[in-house]
Amino acid sequence: MLDDFFVRALVAGIGFALVTGPLGAFVVWRRMAYFGDTMAHSALLGVAISLLLNINMMVGVVAAALLVSGALLVLEKRGVFSSDALLGILSHSTLALGLVLVGFMSWVRIDLMALLFGDILAVSKSDIALIYGFGALILVGIAWGWRALIAATVNVELAQAEGMHPQRARIMLMVFLAILIAVAMKIVGILLITALLIIPAAAARRLSASPEQMVVIASIIGVMAVVGGLNLSLLYDTPSGPSIVVAALGLFLLSLTPLAVIWRKNTKAS
């Protein structure tokens, strides 16, 4: 079954969407959208460094993403620039640094377009194994730390005072984001990862009455976007990664219509 490239793409995309639901919900709740974007952009720097040092690409990307988020924390504490400006600086300079470094390495040939926009139609069986393996790890981690994660999102000081270790929750989310970016780079590309974190979660908001509901609905919407987007790209021969994002956008716009209110009323009544 996995011998067909389209089926492989579907399976990989669905696995990715299942993870972006819960993780994306936290990105939206904690207003980390730009932060996630910055981490994703630093992935290109991670790729360049891992090529330069000849280390595993996933390790390089996770390390770069964590390094950048750590640098952000330190710079934020110094409090000279607003975190908004810092994110802008880090986000674009890591992307540029990555591009410059890759340009220097004339001895390697990498498909830059695939890195930036993804090439889901080229995923291999081992890519799928990677997505489902790490995806399961992230989902189990989120489920395990659920109460602390929610408490830390609602109010950091309250969580701290009542022994929920909000700093631990924050680090956990950062590590999971870094891993997801490293795994998902191939699918939708560095530039579009954040879109699939945020749009399905945002679309789920008006359909949900609790955080638990929202992460499940976000996952379902993500899966619908992947299936819809891939079929769209097959039908009209459009680029697959952007097609998935466009499908997600369509679902988000649909969630803004009165349809969402009707849907919620029906689920409440049943």
Partner 1 sequence: MAKKDLLVSLKNVGVERDGKWLVRGVDFEVRRGEIVTLIGPNGSGKSTSVKCALGVIDPTEGQVNRATDLVVSYVPQKFNLDWTLPLSVKRLMNLTAHHSHADIEEALEQVGIAHLADAEVSHLSGGELQRAQLARAMLRKPDLLVLDEPVQGVDFQGEVALYELIAHMRDHHNCGVLLISHDLHVVMAATDTVICMNGHVCCRGAPKQVAQSAEYQQLFGVRRSEALAIYDHQHDHTHLPDGRVKHADGTICEDCDHSHGAHDHKEHDHA
CA separation, residue 39 to residues 19, 34, 122 (Å)? 17, 9, 24
Q: Give the residue with the Cβ less far from partner 1, 6 or 263.
A: 263
Q: Give the residue with the Cβ less far from partner 1, 29 or 263.
A: 29
CA angle (219, 173, 251) in 5-degree steps: 25
- Among residues 132, 146, 250, the alpha carbon closest in space to that of 202 is found at 250
Q: How many residues bind partner 1 (CB under 8 A)?
A: 27
Residue 160 touches partner 1, criterion: CB under 8 A: yes
Q: Give the residue with the Cβ less far from partner 1, 2 or 254.
A: 254
What string marks each residue from 20 to 49 as x (binds partner 1 by CB under 8 A) or -? Answer: --------xxxx------------------
Residue 146 touches partner 1, criterion: CB under 8 A: no
Q: Give the residue with the Cβ less far from partner 1, 82 or 155.
A: 155
Residue 214 touches partner 1, criterion: CB under 8 A: yes
Residue 210 touches partner 1, criterion: CB under 8 A: yes
Residue 158 touches partner 1, criterion: CB under 8 A: yes
Q: Which of residues 85-114 bind partner 1 (CB under 8 A)?
A: none
Residue 205 touches partner 1, criterion: CB under 8 A: yes
Shortest distance, CB of residue 87 to partner 1, whole angstroms? 18
Q: Give the residue with the Cβ less far from partner 1, 53 or 158.
A: 158
Q: d(Cα 217, Cα 186) in Å, to the nearest integer?
A: 25
Residue 253 touches partner 1, criterion: CB under 8 A: no
CA 223 to chain centre: 14
Residues in the site for partner 1, rule: CB under 8 A?
28-31, 147, 150-151, 153-155, 157-164, 201-202, 205, 208-211, 213-214
